[in-house]
């Protein structure tokens, strides 16, 4: 049932208000008849009274005695409470000891489990390596995705060695983002790489339609978002893989592997023809193995990025590390940009960004921030955010730059001529070359003048095995355990010495007050005039008249204590 409404009619409300007014009027009349009783003030001692000063002293003494009694009572109460606390603490101490001995074993096991879960977090480098190992073991054919702008920098010798050491696995190189490189440069790289492994030229689609991606407008006209985002080289790659599983007469699994922001997930989406994997400009979007079925005989495995080894150069770490720029330290970001600019042609960078000549990276970032309008409060250029954005642009598909292949082709120790022949036998190389030429002709490429010439830092080393990442984690574990042990000891000490601390607080307060009074008495007013101060210092030191050991900032600073006439 609904509650009854509290709303009244206007007649009833006005009637109540009238009665209240009348009641207040009656109360006022009665108060007038009675008369108001005001509390009488203490007249004090009259000035003409004899022994006035003595009486006043006695009154003050009484007040002081009362205050002293109150303070004594407070102290007595505190002492009683402290005694009770001590007794309770002693009683509880034995119980705590018994409980702690039993709980230590349980807590240690729980903490070890929690630490393992923390270390094996999805964002950790250890979990990335674990998932990558799963992909390598499960896949029959491995696609190593390379950025066409810096293919040498995207190659991981540890991964290639791991694949070549197993006879049942084949490796294919996929040269992605070919539309961001001049045509001549692309052909050079294709000729260089095909001598080692079979390479496929690829241009992944920037946007692909999802299952529920077709939007319906008011006019009921369907807008297909997959237009103007064609994928080149997907047919060539699919044909290669289909021929491979037909020759072997069994279903195969294809693992897609590479460094971050190379375009692994976008290649899978291109082969599938729909948005099967999440894609984004941020690094490390894929955090675990994902199985994408293409047809009955073939499944593609998406893997997280290869973890770049910290022993690599600053340029390699800036472009190929998993950690996102938002999370990483600003010092590392600035170092990375400094290395990046030093490996590029300065004049081409100035022309590309259309900024004046710069001397340092800080100046370059300030000029770029001013041009793009990235300013903080007071018009200060936001160099931090522009630095992060710049790194994202260079790893993403925005900037066109190219690197030259090495003049002499030197095979790594894990690649022999027999191994190269084995890898090439598995695939039809003639058809591959024909398909590559078709894809190269179909695309539009930037000119050599518009593309920035980039000097590659060479092959980037990566950590694939989970055991190699454990060294850092173990150090982290030891630090955590030491800190937690110290915290536990401190907590136990606090439990036993809570009462003692309360007792000593009163004594410490009294001592501190005495020290402050003593310091105030000892301190003397210093001379405000600087000349007088120097003279005083000179009188103490017989050898030198005055000594000045001030920094440039202290000399320039204005002293507000001094008054100049």
pLDDT at 117: 52
pLDDT at 228: 40
Q: What is the 3-state secondary structure (H, E, C) of 125-156?
A: HHHHHHHHHHHHHHCCEEEEEEECCCCCCCCC
Closest Cα to residue 178, out of 209, 142, 155, 145?
Answer: 145
Please tell me what DSSP assigns to residue 344: B
pLDDT at 368: 92
Top CATH class of 125-208+228-310+404-463 equals alpha beta
pLDDT at 34: 84
Q: How far, in Å, are 49, 140, 205, 270 from residue 263 at the CA level?
A: 103, 21, 10, 10
First to last CA, the chain: 87
User: CB under 8 Å to 541, separation ≥6 — which residues?
Assistant: 547
- For the beta carbon of residue 476, count every other beta carbon within 10 angstroms: 13
User: CB under 8 Å to 148, separation ≥6 — which residues?
Assistant: 175, 176, 177, 178, 180, 181, 186, 189
Give start-end residues of each CATH 1.10.1580 domain in the chain: 314-395
**What is the CATH number assigned to the segment(s) 314-395?**
1.10.1580
Beta bridge partners of 176: 147
pLDDT at 500: 46
DSSP sequence for 309-343: PTTS-HHHHHHH-SS-TTTS-HHHHHHHHHHHHHT
Element at 255 (helix H, strand E): strand 252-257
Two tokens, residue 354: 């259309």
Q: How far, in Å, are 527, 540, 544, 556, 558 from residue 549 at the CA level?
A: 20, 17, 13, 13, 17
Give 306: exposed, middle or buried? Use CB within 10 Å, 0-12, 13-18, 19+: buried
User: CB under 8 Å to 291, separation ≥6 — which residues?
Assistant: 299, 300, 301, 302
Q: Are 218 and 425 in contact (CB under 8 A)?
A: no
- For the beta carbon of residue 382, count every other beta carbon within 10 angstroms: 19
Rounded Cα distance between 146 and 156, Å, is 10
Rounded Cα distance between 32 and 476, Å, is 83
Phi-psi region of 404 (alpha: psi -120 to 50; beta: other; left: phi over 0): beta
Reduced to 3 states, what is the DSSP secondary structure of residue 307?
strand
Q: What is the 3-state secondary structure (H, E, C) of 166-233?
A: CCCCEEEEEEECHHHCCHHHHHHHHHHHCCCCCEEECECCCCCCCCCCCEECCCCCEECCCCCCCCEC
Give start-end residues of each CATH 3.40.50.300 domain in the chain: 125-208+228-310+404-463
Residue 532's Cα: distance from chain center in Å? 55
The pTM score is 0.59
pLDDT at 113: 57
pLDDT at 106: 66
pLDDT at 538: 43
Rounded Cα distance between 308 and 319, Å, is 10
DSSP sequence for 445-491: ---TTTSEEB----PPPEE-SHHHHHHHHHHHHHHHHHHHHHHHHHH
Q: What is the mean pLDDT of each run of 10 residues along the chain (565 residues)?
A: 86 96 95 78 80 87 93 92 89 82 68 53 74 88 91 90 86 90 91 90 69 39 45 86 85 90 87 81 78 88 87 87 57 86 90 90 91 89 89 85 88 84 83 88 86 88 75 40 47 45 49 47 42 41 38 46 46
Torsion of CA 290, 294, 300, 304, to 10 degrees: -40
């Amino acid at each position: 049932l609904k509650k009854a409404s509290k709303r009244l009619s206007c007649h009833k409300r006005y009637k109540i208000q009238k009665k209240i007014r009348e009641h207040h009027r009656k109360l006022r009349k009665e108060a007038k008849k009675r008369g108001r009783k005001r509390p009488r003030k203490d007249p004090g001692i009259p000035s003409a009274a004899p022994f006035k000063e003595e009486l006043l002293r006695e009154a003050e003494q009484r007040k002081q005695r009362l205050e002293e009694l109150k303070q004594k009572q407070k102290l007595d109460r505190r002492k009683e409470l402290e005694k009770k606390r001590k007794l309770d603490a002693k009683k509880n101490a034995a119980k705590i000891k018994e409980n702690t001995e039993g709980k230590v074993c349980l807590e240690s096991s729980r903490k070890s489990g929690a630490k393992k879960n923390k270390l094996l977090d999805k964002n950790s480098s250890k979990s990335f390596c674990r998932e990558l190992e799963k992909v390598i073991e499960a896949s029959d054919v491995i696609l190593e995705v390379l950025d066409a702008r810096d293919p040498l920098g995207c190659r991981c010798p540890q991964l290639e060695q791991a694949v070549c050491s197993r006879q049942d696995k084949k490796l294919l190189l996929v040269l992605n983002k070919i539309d961001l490189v001049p045509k001549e440069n692309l052909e050079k790289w294709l000729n260089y790489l095909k001598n080692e492994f079979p390479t496929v030229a690829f241009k992944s689609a920037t946007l692909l339609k999802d299952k529920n991606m077709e939007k319906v407008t008011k006019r009921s006209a369907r807008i297909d978002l997959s237009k103007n985002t064609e994928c080149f080289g997907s047919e060539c790659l699919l044909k290669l893989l289909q021929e491979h599983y037909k020759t072997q007469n069994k279903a195969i699994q294809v693992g897609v592997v590479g460094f971050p922001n190379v375009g692994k997930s976008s290649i899978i989406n291109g082969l599938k023809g729909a948005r099967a994997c999440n894609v984004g400009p941020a690094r490390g979007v894929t955090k675990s193995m994902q199985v994408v079925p293409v047809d009955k005989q073939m499944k593609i495995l998406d893997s997280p990025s290869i973890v770049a080894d910290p022993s690599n150069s600053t340029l390699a770490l800036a472009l190929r590390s998993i950690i996102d720029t938002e999370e990483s330290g600003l010092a590392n970001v600035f170092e990375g940009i400094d290395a990046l600019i030093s490996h590029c042609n300065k004049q081409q960078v100035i022309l590309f960004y259309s900024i004046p000549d710069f001397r340092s990276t800080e100046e370059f970032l300030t000029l770029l921030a001013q041009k793009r309008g990235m300013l903080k409060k007071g018009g200060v250029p936001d160099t931090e955010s522009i630095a992060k954005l710049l790194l994202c642009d260079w790893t993403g598909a925005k900037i066109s730059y190219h690197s030259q292949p090495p003049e002499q082709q030197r095979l790594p120790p894990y690649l022999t001529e027999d191994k190269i022949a084995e890898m090439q036998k598995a695939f039809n190389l003639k058809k591959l070359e024909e398909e590559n030429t078709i894809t190269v002709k179909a695309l539009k490429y930037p000119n050599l003048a518009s593309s920035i010439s980039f000097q590659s830092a060479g092959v980037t080393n990566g950590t694939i095995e989970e055991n190699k990442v454990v060294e850092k984690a173990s150090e982290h574990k030891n630090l955590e355990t030491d800190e937690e042990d110290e915290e536990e000891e401190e907590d136990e000490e606090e439990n036993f010495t809570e009462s003692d601390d309360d007792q000593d607080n009163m004594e410490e307060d009294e001592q501190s007050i005495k020290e402050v009074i003593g310091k105030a008495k000892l301190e003397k007013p210093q001379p405000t005039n600087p000349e007088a101060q120097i003279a005083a210092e000179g009188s103490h030191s017989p050898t030198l008249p005055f000594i000045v050991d001030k920094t440039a900032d202290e000399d320039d600073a204005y002293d507000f204590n001094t008054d100049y006439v």
